[in-house]
Structure 1
């Protein structure tokens, strides 16, 4: 079995909380390839990034570091629940800065994996952070595209104007507006008439299958403007040359991972790239359901072993 060590990563601004998953028979005198595991939007390091993919990859021989993004989970940073893509991508470099100081990590064999919005962040990080030698996206979402579309009611300008008004109000002393991403329960989702499989899957995962006190499942409204103008895939044709694997389910929902996965696979300049479409799987099946996760790992493990 793999084991987990909790670490605090010092930065210029605040500490980043992370769980370090190490392989069975771990020996600090040996060197290992390492993988950063980035959690979904609204999630935390203890959920799918850590207890599913982090654990499985560690058991396959990798040192895996699952971390809470800045302002989220147990990491520092204010204001809380800020979903700023530039800061999220910078966190990858901050975590790598820590990894390269560990004597048992091979600094030339560092990869990154992200789930949902973490997948989009991992892809963008791989474009600019050349210490990442291989990148994996599991049901990855381009959060900027989602903010311009479904999360804004397909009215990004109106949403930006509302964010501007709210930020002005908060600067003048108004209470922070922190919006939930999900209904509080499956019963509430049913009562609200929600039918989208992604929203229902998220509600089931976060409220029933894997609830955790550190999970955010909410965002500070006034600080989401940066996400509306951001694009995880911008310049992928030029800058995304890192070996890439994209895993998606073939049952698309409102968050758009299937669409985003096929788009980045087509656009990436990577000479080594793989597309894995898991039949019958939804977005949230790939978080923790044994069958779909097993199929994903059956491709992820050899991908990282071949490219790190």
Structure 2
């Protein structure tokens, strides 16, 4: 199999009524009769497998000798599930185990050498999944965000979490009575509106998701409203002091200290709280949240530590 080879797959577990879509990235000279370490790669919130986790980190890790599976979250991207654009943390966490269930059926995967990497919200979900999914032997969070805390913080800018929960309740009642599903966009409509927020994360999110830099067909950054209570009541870091014990690498950028998504703060918090004995915090000097998605001085610097980290622990 040639360098850069990708296989598009779909699969369904016993607990699912829909398919998960994923891309398998293979290392150079891949031999299906061999045995390879694997990495599960999780995309950001509102993103898809064709962005950052799947088109930056997965190819680099495949080049380093890993079979990497980048997957679309349930209800998003090319994966199935209704309603569309649902962001349910419990389902997102379960998706990681569903992906591992598929990996361990592949004869060329060494089931004792599986790691996980997530970017942004995918990083927060990877940390949450690793608390209970012990088939993950090493964990990397790249500019990982605790989505529950992010939602509560953002709700605080417009009335607070209780007001947001009441609005969701009204929308859910309306839909139960026959109203159309409501979907909210997460980003401003124009680059100018993004600039007016003055927030580095919002400004750079628009540049990544709404320009040719990172735009992808399924990278909608849209969220279904009526089931948003799940995220507002969730915390990615609950019980990390007791349950998150695998070798851990947290990557953040030092330019993201004031960003709305909170990855800098969350990175320091989970690094301090996790039960892991083997844990590292890499703060990339001069890098922002979105530099760690795809920029040479960002993702490129992160990979200089991510690859050796997995090499040593897988």
TM-score surpassing 0.5?
yes
What TM-score, normalized by structure 2, do the two folds share? 0.96
Q: Does residue 261 in structure 1 map to residue 267 in structure 2?
A: yes
Distance 1:120 1:235 in 2: 14
Aligned to 2:279: 273
- Give the match's secondary structure for 2:122: helix
Aligned to 1:178: 183
Deviation string 1:193-239 (CA, Å, 9 cap, x unpaired) is: 22100000100000111111111201011111011110000000000
Q: How does 1:1-308 map to 2 (within 5 A)?
A: 1-11=3-13, 12-153=16-157, 155-190=160-195, 193-208=196-211, 209-252=213-256, 253-308=259-314
Alpha-carbon shift at residue 2 of structure 1 (Å):
2.2
Deviation string 1:247-303 (CA, Å, 9 cap, x unpaired) is: 000012111000000000000010111100000111001000012111100100011
Deviation string 1:163-194 (CA, Å, 9 cap, x unpaired) is: 0111000111111110001123313424xx22
CA contact (8 A) 1:184 1:207 kept: no
- Give the match's secondary structure for 2:197: coil
Runs of 4+ with deviation above 4 angstroms: none
Alpha-carbon shift at residue 152 of structure 1 (Å):
4.6
Alpha-carbon shift at residue 306 of structure 1 (Å):
0.8
- Give the match's secondary structure for 1:219: strand
Distance 2:233 2:226 in 1: 14
RMSD: 1.0
Any gaps of 5 or more consecutive residues in structure 1?
none
Alpha-carbon shift at residue 150 of structure 1 (Å):
1.5
Range moving further from structure 2, 62-71 or 179-188: 179-188
- Give the match's secondary structure for 2:210: helix
CA contact (8 A) 2:39 2:114 kept: yes
Alpha-carbon shift at residue 151 of structure 1 (Å):
4.1
Distance 1:282 1:103 in 2: 39
CA contact (8 A) 1:278 1:296 kept: yes
Any gaps of 5 or more consecutive residues in structure 2?
none
Distance 1:223 1:265 in 2: 30
Distance 1:151 1:183 in 2: 16
Distance 1:97 1:31 in 2: 17
What TM-score, normalized by structure 1, do the two folds share? 0.97
Distance 2:194 2:268 in 1: 29
Q: How many residues align?
A: 306
CA contact (8 A) 1:185 1:204 kept: no
Range moving further from structure 2, 64-73 or 214-223: 214-223
